[in-house]
Structure 1
Amino acid sequence: MRKKVIIVFALLALVVLTGCTDLSDINEESTGIWNEWFVFPLSQLLIWMADFFSGSFGLAIIIVTIIIRLVLLPLMIQQTKSSRAMQAIQPEIEELRKKYSSKDQKTQQKLQQETMELFQKHGVNPLAGCLPILVQMPILVAFYHAIMRTAEIKEHTFLWFSLGSPDYILALLAGITTFTQQKIMMGQAPPNPQMKVMLYIMPIMIVIFAINFPAALSLYWVMGNLFMIVQTLIMYRPHVQTESKTTGGAKK
């Protein structure tokens, strides 16, 4: 769990740092691998999608966000399976930690050895849950850049707000949906104080960012969070039902 917290902070730092480095308008003259292979293609996709929907960049952001999330869905499924596998062997890991509670070097080496043997026995890769996150982030950050750096988006409105200006209502929605998504995810994992801190820090940070950035970015966050909420409820529901039946059967 500690590794997950570090990854979350690292990814958040990545988003902030990439946002601070270059927010100039993206076009066919933009140079560099990041711009040419990641940001510009996504910017063009947004423009094409907006043209398809009669110039609505709001709908374009919504549709492209859903498309990207669907493309990344197999990685999320892999991450979920890895997380479940780690949860399943957690009691055995705790037993090993109690067995080798001494802090001396030989004991800790023995603990690491038997822990790795336990992973191999159950076919669990402790890094498998982190890899999908690291693969997704360049795509999601590139889409963030595409939204922020596509000049045409700044000139349009969607629903009640201007895409090029901050909107407080949308910023609040971004924070609420972030909290909800984090809360649901936490409900599928064992209690952890570190992750509980993130439950409140992340929404606050998102709101702060949202009220200082164009509403187009807030719209992206809201849609991404809504997709993740639905995805989590669907992916974990069969697991919860199976556990309930197993528990019920055991009681009988």
Structure 2
Amino acid sequence: MHKSKKFVTLGLVSLLPLILAACAQTTKKGTTMKPPTDPFFGTFYKVIGLPLQHLMEWIASLVGTASSYGIAIIVITLLVRLIVLPLMLRQQRTMTAYQEKQKIIQPQLKIVQEATKRAKTPEQQMAMNGYMRKIYSANGTSMIPSMGCLPMLIQLPIFSGLYQAIAYSPEISEATFFGIQLGHSNFIVTILATLPYIVVSLIMLQGVPPEQRKAMQTTAFLNPIMTFVFCMMYNAGLGLYFGAGGIILIIQQAIVTYIVTPNIRKRMDAEMEENPPVIVVDEHTFDNWDTATAGAAGTTGSSKPADPDAIDHSKLRRRNAGKQQRPRK
């Protein structure tokens, strides 16, 4: 589920700069659009788009070939992706650790979720929320994963700036990359730009448990589909951006799937042996609301569920040590 949300989020965030750039003034002059002059888009173009345009022109002058502008786009893309790669790997490591922790407490979460469906009073529903929070806090995790947006925020201005630099520069827009005009969409560039994201999705699915792999297939291929659509809608220069960035993403996903995830799982296994998870609820906790209340609150005959704050987790940890095993792939 969290990976599904991540792919959707990445797709929507990728769409944002294109929408913003498309909303700018788009008076055409030949194959080149007129630079925006309004306060928002005009300022963005002067601060981000124009410097990137000059940077591409400088790199192209150093390369000095017919395809120099295309090479400049690829060089800039690779530099940006390599700069944010450590941040992306750190974010992926955090998310992977969170997901592995989720697997450990998932049996308890499922018990509370099923009990919540049977709750008949507001007090019972509130108590279920308390149990849910207690399961997370007692096992050293949180209900909301920590997903930093800094890597994406760094890339967004570059992404939108490249679009502006290509669209508003006659030299870049009319330049070619191995015979392909950068200012127009191109089917070949679209295919080549989409292929790396297909590879990323396939590698990502290798790290998903077999029982979840089928459910993840649709969302895993959302990014390649959106990349294909974007590249067909916009110029080939952005297609080069997507394609070059996809190569770095392949490296990133391979590191996460084949190195980061196995190491985190190995560490979690060791932690599980030394410190078994705190069992806040088990399959019998909510068999009878009255019994649950009497056991935790020391009273009888109440229709309210047990108070999760009254649970002695140290006793539960000792009592349940070794009973719950971490699910494996």
Shorter-normalised TM range: 0.7 to 0.9
Percent identity, aligned pairs only, is 23
1:183 is aligned to 202
After TM superposition, give the deviation of residue 192 of structure 1 in Å: 5.8
Cα 1:114–1:139 change in 2 (3 A) is: farther
1:141 aligns with 2:141: no
After TM superposition, give the deviation of residue 228 of structure 1 in Å: 0.8
Cα 1:84–1:208 change in 2 (3 A) is: closer
Q: Kindly provide the CA deviation profile for residues 70-112 of structure 1, in whole angstroms up to 9, marking residues without a partner as x.
A: 1111220221111221122022331231231224421442244
The one-letter code matched in structure 2 to 1:18 is L
Cα 1:197–1:132 change in 2 (3 A) is: farther
1:196 is aligned to 217
Q: Which of these residues, 19, 43, 49, is aligned with residue 59 of structure 2?
A: 49
Unpaired runs of 5+ residues, structure 1, are 247-252
2:22 is aligned to 20
1:78 is aligned to 90
Which stretch of the first structure deviates more once superposed, 194-203 or 76-85?
194-203
TM-score (norm 1): 0.79
2:294 is aligned to none
2:309 is aligned to none
User: Higher helix proportion, which one?
Assistant: 1
Unpaired runs of 5+ residues, structure 2, are 27-32, 120-124, 268-329
Given that 1:166 and 1:215 are in contact with CA atoms closer than 8 Å, whether structure 2 keeps it comes out as: yes
Which stretch of the first structure deviates more once superposed, 136-145 or 71-80?
136-145
The one-letter code matched in structure 1 to 2:196 is T
RMSD of aligned C-alpha atoms?
3.3
| Cα distance between partner residues in 2 of 1:189 and 1:38 | 39
Which stretch of the first structure deviates more once superposed, 167-176 or 228-237?
228-237
- 1:1-252 equivalence runs, <5 A: 1=2, 3-22=5-24, 24-26=33-35, 31-32=39-40, 33-54=43-64, 56-101=68-113, 102-103=116-117, 104=119, 105-118=125-138, 121=140, 126-132=144-150, 134-151=152-169, 152-190=171-209, 191=212, 195-239=216-260, 242=263
The one-letter code matched in structure 2 to 1:180 is V
SS class of match (1:99): helix
SS class of match (1:211): helix
Cα 1:10–1:92 change in 2 (3 A) is: same
1:250 is aligned to none
Cα 1:212–1:3 change in 2 (3 A) is: closer
1:249 is aligned to none
After TM superposition, give the deviation of residue 67 of structure 1 in Å: 0.6
- Bigger CA radius of gyration: 2
Given that 2:174 and 2:183 are in contact with CA atoms closer than 8 Å, whether structure 1 keeps it comes out as: yes
After TM superposition, give the deviation of residue 127 of structure 1 in Å: 4.0
